[in-house]
Amino acid sequence: MDTVDDKANTVLQVIERYKNTVFRIAFAYCKNRSDADDIFQEVILRYLKARPEFNSEEHEKAWFVRVTVNCCKKHFFSSWNRKTMPIDEDIRFETAEQSDLFYAVMDLPLKYRIVIHLYYYEGYKIKQIAEMTKQKETTVATQLQRARQLLKTRLKEELIYG
């Protein structure tokens, strides 16, 4: 039988496993730690409240990503957060390439940031991102293409003028 400690450990492991996935998606949305912290907390509280059962680890991760995206949308579209937020300055990068790319992504419009993050960081396919963000596959594909184009332009500018 799973003891209380076993169950606590299991849930602790789940949080450990997804805490940064959740936080990074939230950060990609909000561009600052404070709001990302709030979203992280909301997602974890939802998990602890619902304690959903998952059929596989993949299913489990998809649940966290989906709920995070939903929480981000809710957070972002509340009137309080419609204002433009500055990028959190307290981030250290090992290389200039990482830094340039990070800030170029952060400079993208909101709808592109999340698609780019799920595609490039989490490795999801277009179909999966469409399901998670409740958009058509063609919409996601277009967003991805435009985001790539914007990044390409901006990184090129960075290279020339930076």
Partner 1 sequence: MDRDVYKSAFDNIEVSDKAVHDVIQKAAEINSQKGYRRKRRIGVLVPAVLLSIMIITVSVSAATGLTDIFSRYFSQLFTAEDTGFDDYSAEFIEKNAAYDYTTYSQDGVTMSIEGIIGDMNFLLLKSKLTAVDGYDEGTLAAFMSPKLYIGELKQGILPATCYRNIVDEGNDPLVKSAAYLFNYDDVETLLGRTDTETLTGKTATLVIKNTNAYEPIEIDLAEALEQSGEISIEGSDDLNAIPLSKLSIPFGNDFRSSIVLKSVCFVNGKLVLVIDSSGYYENPSIFLRDKISDRIIYRCDGILSAGKGNLEFYAFDIGDIEALENLEIVMPEEHHISLPLSVDNPKELDISGIDQSNIKGVTIESIRVSPLSLNIEGRVQEGTPIVAFENCAIRFKDNSVVKYTANGYYHSKDGVYSTGVPFGKPLDINLMDAVIIECNQTTLEIPIN
List interacting residues with partner 1 (CB under 8 A).
Answer: 1-2, 4-5, 7-8, 11-12, 15, 19-20, 22-24, 27-28, 33, 36-37, 40-41, 44-45, 48, 51, 53, 55-62, 91-95, 97-99, 101-102, 105, 116-117, 120-121, 123-124, 127-128, 131-132, 148, 151-152
**Closest Cα partner for 43 from 28, 25, 64?**
64
Q: Which is nearer to partner 1, 136 or 152 (CB)?
A: 152
- Which tokens belong to 79? 């009137």
Q: Shortest approach of partner 1 to residue 56 CB, angstroms?
A: 5
Helix intervals (H) in the chain: 4-30, 33-50, 57-77, 96-106, 110-116, 126-133, 137-161
What's the closest the beta carbon of residue 44 comes to partner 1, in angstroms? 5
Question: Minimum distance between the CB of residue 125 and partner 1, rounded to whole angstroms?
Answer: 9
- Separation in Å, CA 93 to CA 16, 34, 83: 23, 20, 27
**Minimum Å distance from CB 84 to partner 1?**
20
Q: Which is nearer to partner 1, 116 or 140 (CB)?
A: 116
In contact, 50 and 44? CB cutoff 8 Å = no
Length of the chain: 162
Shorter beta-carbon distance to partner 1: residue 41 or 142: 41
